Amino acid sequence: MQLTKAEAKVEETYVVEERMPKTNKTKATTEANDTSEAANASSGEDTQPQTVKKTKKRTVPFPLYNIEKEYYGTPSLSTEQIKLCKERLRQYEKRDDDKAKTDKAKNDFETTIYALRDWVHEDENLPFVGSADAQDVILNILREAEDWLEDEGYSAKYADYAAKFAELNRIFT
């Protein structure tokens, strides 16, 4: 289906004053008019032509391509705008997923540091740790990891946390 022509018609109503044409009058009206004309003539006034108000209508064609579009409320989005919105939504979802993944990795890394430090300080684990010097070495490694977490860890990404966690696992396994 194809629209080839669209047109609206506006009907305009207006009032016009028209002069009455002079017509042959009957004797009774002529005599009445003669007396009134004589009275007008004696007073020195000219008689004004009679006018009648008539209501007329005219139809004006109005092509629809001349109409300005006015939107009330929120206009609907174009297909291109919908695609852009969906892409932006995917980017936001990816950002949120990355943020959640990074937060989980940070929490796991921090939990591992504190759990290892608590494990080293327990008296029952001294035979597994070894001497006091070995215990100091382990605590220094954990302290360095905690310092990294406090300094650079706030702006680190998931890959950074995964690398640090893998390093701790490599050292303590």
Per-residue pLDDT in tens (0 to 9) along the chain, 173 residues = 455 566 778 888 888 888 877 665 554 455 555 555 544 444 444 566 688 888 888 888 767 765 566 667 777 889 999 999 999 999 999 999 999 999 999 999 999 899 888 888 887 777 777 777 888 888 899 999 999 998 888 888 999 999 998 988 888 77
Examine the domain organization and report whether 58 and 99 are in the same domain.
no
40: DSSP letter: H
Q: Is residue 1 part of a domain?
A: no
Structural domain harbouring 133: 79-172
Amino acid at the residue 112: T
Examine the domain organization and report whether 87 and 166 are in the same domain.
yes
**C-beta pairs of 92-101 under 8 Å, 24+ apart in sequence:** 98/157, 98/158, 101/158
Alpha carbon 75 to chain centroid distance?
9
Report the number of distinct structural domains present in the chain. 2
Examine the domain organization and report whether 94 and 12 are in the same domain.
no
* Distance in angstroms (rounded) separating the CA atoms of residues 101 and 112: 16
Note the pTM of the prediction, 2 decimals: 0.51
Residues contacting residue 138 through CB under 8 Å, at least 6 positions apart: 116, 120, 129, 172
